[in-house]
Structure 1
Amino acid sequence: MMMMKQKLLLLLRYRRKNRVLFLSLLYLSVLSPLLFFSHRLNLLSPLGKDFLEDLYRVAYKTDSLKLNAVEQEGAEELEEPNHVVYKVKDSVSTINYNSNQNNDSEESRIAGHRYELLERNVTGFDHDEIRKQGTKQKESSSMAGDKDIHVHSLRMPDDNIKVTNKDSGRKEGKHNQIVNSESHEVRNPKIEEIKDQILRAKTYLNLAPPSGNLRLKELELLMRELEQAVGEATKDSDLSASVLQSMRHMEASLSKAYRIFPNCCAMADKLQAMKHTTEQQVRSQRIQATFLAQLAGRTTPKGLHCLSMRLTAEYFAMRPEQRKLPNENKIYNPELYHYAVFTDNVLACAVVVNSTVSTAKEPEKLVFHVVTNSHNLPGISMWFLLNPPDKATVHIQSIDNYGWFSKYNTLEKPNSTDPIYTSELNHLRFYLPDIFPTLNKIMLFDHDVVVQQDLSELWTADMNGNVIGAVGTCKEGEAPFHRMDMFINISDPLLGERFDVNACTWAFGMNLFDLQQWRMHNLTSLYHKYLQMNIGIQPLGWLTFYNKTTLLDRRWHVQGLGHNSGVDRNEIEHAAVIHYDGIRKPWLDIAMGRYKNYWTKFLKFDQPFMERCNLQP
């Protein structure tokens, strides 16, 4: 009995050992593949994944090359596919797609955006697939290290794009793919990709209907989140894991948004409506800006008005005998250089006088005849009493002193409300022989000019019997800056027979007049005849002095500083006289800053009157 029990116990122990051994082998057979497979997964992340993706890409390219081989079997000559060697050393090569019509070289410099170039030039590829391929290519390039990767050029299905062999020099199709072997470093590709996603999201949101959509709301939230992340990050390493996760969500949302807008015609109509509305707003803004600029050009600045009032008050506080300017004996000496300035602006007149005197070789021979209205006569007189020009003579008169001027009724029928054309001072230039009966020559300045060189050479110039010397407004081989038929009705028989509409016009601002020839031809009477036609100041001058003008070298007078921001700096520097013609005068707030210094350097802003009126350069 005891023997039976012992045998039974031994049998039970044996079976238990077998059961443990069997279960152990079973666990080992189940767990070992799991451990081995998880180990393989670790090897694949991240380099292993890249390896599999490379295998997929190679298989894809092999299929494409096989298709290319089938297409090229019927060609007369066989060409070996182009080989490109990429050397990746912390950088990736770039591919430029050059077209006869479009040049995308700037965009192709960013390797992270290569999929955009493919999307623009190649049809038939899915948007998301191209983006994935571009991302995989960037990741595989970072793994390559110092190895050389040989990449075969692909022939795209679209016939509009064909590979051009750089060595052969032949062009196939409309577009050429030029591969640069030069390395280009891609900095912060993740940040660039986020910016691209934000841009695409804004486009979709602008096209969204007012009612909105849950997917678009999600897109808007992701866009704001990424905008904040990009604003705080300066490099890819600053991006947190949550931002990278948001990038993936954004890409998915963009794909959903793409499917929301299948009706391209409706979107095109909406874009056209948006374009039309924007164009209307632009036109409205331009009209308003033009009006405000014209208004500012006709308005006296507060500081300039203050200066005129203070100078006027100071002038009347002086005794009459203290109001006389020096060198009155030189005023009508015909042997001197006489300059006339018709102005109602204190500072403008001061700059004309100061700049002319400072650049003159013989300032003692200069005589300035300033003619103004009765309101500004005290202020301008007081300015030159306080700031007399060095050795030069200044003679200031009021237009009211010329009683004979009113009998001509010059402005009886003005055709414009613009003070440039209705101002008595502007029309006074046509009466120079009457204003200065004892002079033979005089140079007339507009008050918006600056003299940069000595002008004595002009006084000895041969005018060939003409009345006026001026700089032409046209260059050789170009149309006139001002055509006469733009201002004058040439269809009038009286004008059409006498004038050539294609004749080169000339510029006001700096004009030398031979008063003897003027009197001989009685041009003032001719001016009165044309005045009845109610045309502007410039056409009146061109008609009155037609065929009696000597054209001066262009270096004597450069225009455009009051309306043209593209005047050549070299021309300005070498010009004898620069002219701020236009509404943007240098003493106004709307003046062009790039030209203002040429004018302000002839004023002293540290003077008491200037400081009290807060006048600054």
Structure 2
Amino acid sequence: MPLQRPSPSGDRSSHIDNLVRKLGPTLPKDVLKGFVNEAKNETGSINATPKTQQKKGIPIPPQVVMQPFTSKNISRINGKAKMKSDVDESEGFCDLKYGSYCIWREENREEMHDSMVKKLKDQLFVARAYFPSIVKIPAQSKLSGELKQNIQEVERVLSESTTDADLPPEIQKKSRRMEAVIARAKSVSLDCNNIDKKLRQIFDLTEDEANFHMKQSAFLYQLAVQTMPKSLHCLSMRLTVEYFRDHLFDKELSEKYSDPTLQHYVIFSNNVIASSVVINSTVVHAIDTVNQVFHVLTDWQNYYAMKHWFLRNTFRDAVVQVLNIEDPDSYGKATLSHLTLPVEFRVSFPSNDSAPAINNRTQYVSIFSHSHYLLPEIFKNLEKVVVLDDDVVVQQDLSALWSLNMGGKVTGAIEICSVKMDQLRSYLGDHSFQKHSCSWMSGLNVIDLARWRDLDISETYWKLVKEVSMKEGSALLATLLTFQDQIYALDRVWVLSGLGHDYGLDIEGIKKAAVLHYNGNMKPWLDLGIPKYKEYWKKFLNHEDQYLSECNVNR
């Protein structure tokens, strides 16, 4: 769905433009196309760092830009076209370059009471522009000294102040003093070209600083997204220690684990709490849980924490099996060196060739990872499984999925017809594909393992991975090509996606959906998660659990 957000830097840009117009002759429209490196500042504290070489903008292909999220597996696909300028990047291209960070920033922006701070910055901007010219005039040594002193005082104040509340009590007096000295500087006969050049130079440096802070903020956002919260790390470590300390009786219900007549759910996860919420929400809404078997596929690092959690927690009559997908002694060839989780991509389509990037249509697509293609080998006795991502919440009984007639198709999935194969043709290379076929999502998938084995889907996938291994996003390309004509389109009422990135979802639609999919960077277990959607996930936590309380997971 299209995401159009107001430019966060629009007010500041117009504010600077108005300021420039007040200071002198009308400037040509193309004035900011080049950078001016003149009018050296002659005071130590006023000198600004020289402008570094300007970086090229992020490349954008003419039809589609696909950038993966980093909260799960990462594969990056770069485009080919070039952005217009850094100013455009900060205004129109933020969402394209920094992804969901821009959406999160807009939704969490706090009102800044900083009118006086802005006024001081404006005065400092003007004073710095006049100072290099004033200081060169011997007759104006007194004025240049006052100008320098005022600049240094305001710089010192601004270095310690972000809002008006941070300013010292005498700031009004300092501001009037600065205003008076600027007025005297304006009355001096000067070469306007020098003032003009200095203004542009300061403008460039200010723009660089703004871009730096934008990149820094986006980096910190991504760091928060990719890093396991301290509370979850605490829980995992605590459970691992307790597993070896308590020696709880591990019930091996091998008959149920491999009984093809039961309802088998598979979850790939390295997150104890996330997988627990998926299982708990599924069981709570199930009409009959006796036939439910959950298989949690995890890695070495989280295996014992998972085992201990599901040994000490029961889910009505359902049973839970924890498997270590990285254990070669258990699964032989059906083993990967490391667990891979569903891969998520952000796909953007320009509305038209001339439209700004802010008007792009953006979709978020999650697909199978390498680990999914081991399912037929790991569950050799099963003919059908339902695969749930660990970022979903179940709100209705899912038993109807087991009676679906998929007409010989391998996988049942929610299709995304706003992202068609033809729109991705530049990434699919010379491989044949149906132009108008839709892409599809992981999250909730019904898999016919018998049909999968008959068509040798896994072998087809691995061959394609080898062919496109030099390309970024090989998992996406190989998966889309592998499952051509093998997708059974589930009714869209089954899944509502977007709870991990879209602030505008309809609450009534959320309540009616059978499954909620938190695809996107803003997962419900993160502090960055969208608050109004978190409640649908949090209610399936056991708020009385000792470990959750001790590790502050419930907060």
TM-score, normalised on structure 1? 0.54
The amino acid that maps onto 1:547 is D
Q: Is the 8 A contact 1:439 1:515 kept in 2?
A: yes
Deviates more, 1:536-545 or 1:347-356: 536-545
Residues 536 and 418 (structure 1), Cα distance of their counterparts in 2 relative to 1, 3 Å cut: farther
> Which whole-Å CA distance do the structure 1 matches of 2:314 and 2:481 have between them?
38
> Which whole-Å CA distance do the structure 1 matches of 2:119 and 2:224 have between them?
45
Alignment of 1:214-363 (within 5 A): 256-260=184-188, 263-319=191-247, 322-324=249-251, 329-363=255-289
Q: CA deviation at 1:544?
A: 1.4
Are 1:472 and 2:415 an aligned pair? yes
Instruction: Give the structure 2 partner of residue 566 of structure 1.
Output: 503
> Which whole-Å CA distance do the structure 2 matches of 1:443 and 1:560 have between them?
21
Q: Is the 8 A contact 2:326 2:335 kept in 1?
A: no
Which of 302, 314, 322 does residue 396 from structure 1 map onto? 322
> Which whole-Å CA distance do the structure 1 matches of 2:321 and 2:221 have between them?
34
Aligned sequence identity (%)? 33
> Which whole-Å CA distance do the structure 2 matches of 1:374 and 1:255 have between them?
70
Q: Is the 8 A contact 1:293 1:583 kept in 2?
A: no
Instruction: Give the structure 2 partner of residue 557 of structure 1.
Output: 495
In the TM superposition, what whole-angstrom CA distance separates every residue of 1:512-569 from its partner, at most 9, and x where no partner exists? 112232222221221221131225333232121111112223343333444x253424
Structure 1, unmatched stretches of 5+, are 1-105, 107-115, 125-192, 233-242
Residues 279 and 453 (structure 1), Cα distance of their counterparts in 2 relative to 1, 3 Å cut: farther
Instruction: Give the structure 2 partner of residue 545 of structure 1.
Output: 483
Are 1:430 and 2:366 an aligned pair? no
Q: Is the 8 A contact 1:366 1:393 kept in 2?
A: yes
What SS does structure 1 have at the residue aligned with 2:381? coil
Instruction: Give the structure 1 partner of residue 306 of structure 2.
Output: 380
- Which structure carries more helix by proportion? 1
Q: Is the 8 A contact 1:218 1:253 kept in 2?
A: no
What SS does structure 1 have at the residue aligned with 2:485? coil
Are 1:586 and 2:524 an aligned pair? yes
> Which whole-Å CA distance do the structure 2 matches of 1:197 and 1:526 have between them?
64
> Which whole-Å CA distance do the structure 2 matches of 1:312 and 1:329 have between them?
27
RCO comparison, higher one (Cα < 8 Å, 6+): 2
Alignment of 1:364-513 (within 5 A): 364-399=290-325, 406-407=332-333, 426-475=369-418, 479-480=419-420, 483-485=423-425, 487-488=427-428, 490-491=429-430, 495=431, 498-500=432-434, 503-513=437-447
Q: CA deviation at 1:469?
A: 1.4
> Which whole-Å CA distance do the structure 2 matches of 1:511 and 1:600 have between them?
23
> Which whole-Å CA distance do the structure 1 matches of 2:459 and 2:119 have between them?
74
> Which whole-Å CA distance do the structure 2 matches of 1:194 and 1:283 have between them?
23
The amino acid that maps onto 1:275 is F
> Which whole-Å CA distance do the structure 1 matches of 2:330 and 2:552 have between them?
40
> Which whole-Å CA distance do the structure 2 matches of 1:292 and 1:220 have between them?
32
Which of 535, 540, 547 does residue 602 from structure 1 map onto? 540
> Which whole-Å CA distance do the structure 2 matches of 1:274 and 1:502 have between them?
51
Which of 422, 437, 458 does residue 524 from structure 1 map onto? 458
Q: Is the 8 A contact 1:484 1:501 kept in 2?
A: no
Residues 375 and 221 (structure 1), Cα distance of their counterparts in 2 relative to 1, 3 Å cut: closer
TM-score, normalised on structure 2? 0.59
In the TM superposition, what whole-angstrom CA distance separates every residue of 1:552-605 from its partner, at most 9, and x where no partner exists? 23343333444x253424344443323333444333444444443333222124
Q: Is the 8 A contact 1:219 1:254 kept in 2?
A: no
Instruction: Give the structure 2 partner of residue 536 of structure 1.
Output: 474
The aligned length equals: 403
> Which whole-Å CA distance do the structure 2 matches of 1:377 and 1:197 have between them?
57
The structure that has the greater radius of gyration is 1
> Which whole-Å CA distance do the structure 1 matches of 2:197 and 2:538 have between them?
53
Q: CA deviation at 1:441?
A: 1.9
Q: Considering only aligned residues, what root-mean-square deviation do their CA atoms show, in Å?
A: 4.7
Residues 265 and 433 (structure 1), Cα distance of their counterparts in 2 relative to 1, 3 Å cut: same
Residues 253 and 512 (structure 1), Cα distance of their counterparts in 2 relative to 1, 3 Å cut: same
Residues 420 and 386 (structure 1), Cα distance of their counterparts in 2 relative to 1, 3 Å cut: same
Instruction: Give the structure 2 partner of residue 515 of structure 1.
Output: 449
> Which whole-Å CA distance do the structure 2 matches of 1:399 and 1:249 have between them?
70
Structure 2, unmatched stretches of 5+, are 1-10, 12-17, 27-114, 136-142, 159-163, 166-171, 344-367
Residues 275 and 470 (structure 1), Cα distance of their counterparts in 2 relative to 1, 3 Å cut: farther
What SS does structure 1 have at the residue aligned with 2:549? helix
Q: CA deviation at 1:284?
A: 3.5
Q: CA deviation at 1:445?
A: 1.4
Q: Is the 8 A contact 1:558 1:572 kept in 2?
A: yes
> Which whole-Å CA distance do the structure 2 matches of 1:302 and 1:265 have between them?
56
Residues 483 and 352 (structure 1), Cα distance of their counterparts in 2 relative to 1, 3 Å cut: farther
Residues 268 and 557 (structure 1), Cα distance of their counterparts in 2 relative to 1, 3 Å cut: farther
Q: CA deviation at 1:218?
A: 10
Residues 251 and 613 (structure 1), Cα distance of their counterparts in 2 relative to 1, 3 Å cut: closer
> Which whole-Å CA distance do the structure 1 matches of 2:250 and 2:506 have between them?
42
> Which whole-Å CA distance do the structure 2 matches of 1:575 and 1:263 have between them?
68
> Which whole-Å CA distance do the structure 1 matches of 2:207 and 2:119 have between them?
28
Instruction: Give the structure 1 partner of residue 98 of structure 2.
Output: none
